[in-house]
Amino acid sequence: MGSSVSNPESDGLSMLAANLEALGHDVQRIEAELPVDDAFPWDVLVLPFPKLQFSTEEMIALHEHLRAGRGLLLLTEWGDLYSHVDHLNELTGPYGIHIQKDRVTDLEEHVSHQVKLGGVVLDEQPMPHYVRIRNFSEHPITEGISELIYFSGCSLKTSEPAVAVASTAATSFGDLDLDIELDDDEEQGNLTIAAASEMEGRMLVVGDSNIAANGYVEQGDNLAFILQTIEWLLRVR
């Protein structure tokens, strides 16, 4: 079931769906392929790391969805799993958002995994690719947000009309070879991890699909961030 709104496991989105329904939103699961015969019936479409490439008809329908003044939340992933980056950039590029083939890593601003036995902490293992995000642009999505926890996500590049809404500390870098070491060809600095764009419709891209998943959405302000993203996407029309 993977990242489905009906999946209660750690990689599912059932907690997000329950919170949206509690706010009065109708949440529907897309069972298989996107319907392309008519316009999508949803005001906001959430795509949690699509692993299969969209057909030509599906890609056209997604662009039509945005041109019709509706919203799209795309959650992607680190590296180039499933050779997804170039394909998804066909969707996001016209909106000025460009997904990178790296994994955001920070040897200082990260969380640790506690090893416990009987409630006693035996060890703490640093997780440098589980990055603390504390830099936010002024935007409706980021109101009241003080920290996100970013779980093995990629970085993003922006160009007009897109804007960065959340970025890493200056100590972060985009790890291309996944060796958790900064190499000469890897970018270090304030890396964008969430970007918003608005033309006819609105798009928000986050480089980490786990940020909304059951096992991670309650970390930091992740849940509030995703809920505020949905509200912003809904206000497009």
pLDDT at 35: 87
Q: Is residue 214 a part of any domain in this protein?
A: yes
Q: Is residue 192 a part of any domain in this protein?
A: yes
d(CA 19, CA 76): 21
Low-confidence residues of the chain: pLDDT under 70 = 1-6, 114-117, 121-123, 236-237
CATH code of the domain in which 35 resides = 3.40.50.880
Q: Is residue 124 a part of any domain in this protein?
A: yes
**Total domains, the chain:** 1
Q: Which domain holds residue 207?
A: 14-234
3-state secondary structure of 153: coil
pLDDT at 8: 80
pLDDT in tens, 111-158: 987 666 677 766 678 899 999 999 999 999 999 999 999 999 999 999
For the entire predicted model, the pTM comes to 0.93
Give yes or no for a contact between 150 and 131, defined as CB atoms under 8 angstroms apart.
yes
Q: Is residue 127 a part of any domain in this protein?
A: yes
pLDDT at 78: 96
Q: Is residue 216 a part of any domain in this protein?
A: yes
Q: Is residue 6 a part of any domain in this protein?
A: no
pLDDT at 105: 98
pLDDT at 33: 79
pLDDT at 190: 98
